[in-house]
Structure 1
């Protein structure tokens, strides 16, 4: 097996151990046992256990972000795009609760490890940047602007999704969690307003239809 493939298998094995046993029990030896590899292979592929944990968290973040982007690219008005995006996000939570729990564990682990805090900061910065991009794309597609600064709105959205997910991991109350997401979508729509236009720019919402040829 090529070194690149061994590395990928160790990352996957690390994720499986963390989902099953928790981050603190994902020792180097536990991971190589899960991957059915000798201990020496681990040190050939990674400088340290922390490097593997960083890769696990990065992969999870990238996968979550990619799913959000794919859903938000779907056609539809502002309301339907927001609803579909929130619903798709929630689908990943209910489908893979263990992965989401591991992401929280890794975030707290990173904050407590000296020199490792930047990983958690980059993780949440990445989430906020993606939320901001999606909000800006939605505003452009719907020809509106947001009533609050987009960076603030992105942080608000990230905080809501974090809170709903963590609450659900505790009580598994899907009905009320989905209702909170519906309320969040409704609230986002109240923050959308018509974009100011120069006097010579037509408003597509009120423009007269062109005569049939």
Structure 2
């Protein structure tokens, strides 16, 4: 039997946790169920992640980083168009991975109820990742204060769009709402 490296095993547990939370909710995301979904012994899960909270935080980090890595900014686009397109790409990425959208909401609200400081930390990590993506897409077109403001709006619009979509499930409505949100983002960026 081939031995699995620690980083690969870590990713297996993160993917299994996403699947379990999306299917069963966070209240039923037991370490035993997660280990079974990863096709791994429970002891391995506890070796890689010392606490369930550590596992959940790693899952949340993964949910922030994965879509950010897939963002593509056209080389000749104006900064306002680049940021609007970022929002569009993020929504499309999560729609293609609905279990990740559900898990992200579940984890954030679980942390908000159980560990408000962790929820605040998660928001800060999201904000910083968004600021970095905007910096990459726009270069020096926006100063730090502007990037912070635009990042907050982007996060608020993104979360609202996904929450709305999980409730109504209508892809055409989501596309129309996303385009409206992209216009709002473009207008804000243009104002700087």
TM-score bracket for this pair, using the shorter chain length: 0.7 to 0.9
Structure 1 position 102, deviation (Å): 0.6
Cα distance in 2 between the residues matched to 1:149 and 1:83: 15
Structure number with the bigger relative contact order (C-alpha 8 A, sep ≥ 6) is 2
1:185 counterpart residue number: 182
1:109 counterpart residue number: 110
2:92 is equivalent to residue 95 of structure 1: no
Q: CA RMSD in A?
A: 2.6
Distance 1:93 1:149, change over 3 A: same
Structure 1 position 109, deviation (Å): 0.9
Unmatched segments (≥5 aa) in structure 2? none
Cα distance in 1 between the residues matched to 2:87 and 2:53: 32
**TM score, norm. by length of structure 2:** 0.81
Distance 1:37 1:153, change over 3 A: closer
1:41 counterpart residue number: 44
Cα distance in 1 between the residues matched to 2:46 and 2:129: 34
Structure 1 position 30, deviation (Å): 0.7
Distance 1:48 1:140, change over 3 A: closer
Unmatched segments (≥5 aa) in structure 1? 195-213
1:12 counterpart residue number: 15
Cα distance in 1 between the residues matched to 2:173 and 2:164: 10
1:166 counterpart residue number: 163
1:160-197 Cα shifts (integer Å, max 9, x gaps): 11111100011012222222222222233333147xxx
Higher helix share: 2
Moved over 6 A (4+): none
Distance 1:36 1:43, change over 3 A: same
2:129 is equivalent to residue 127 of structure 1: no
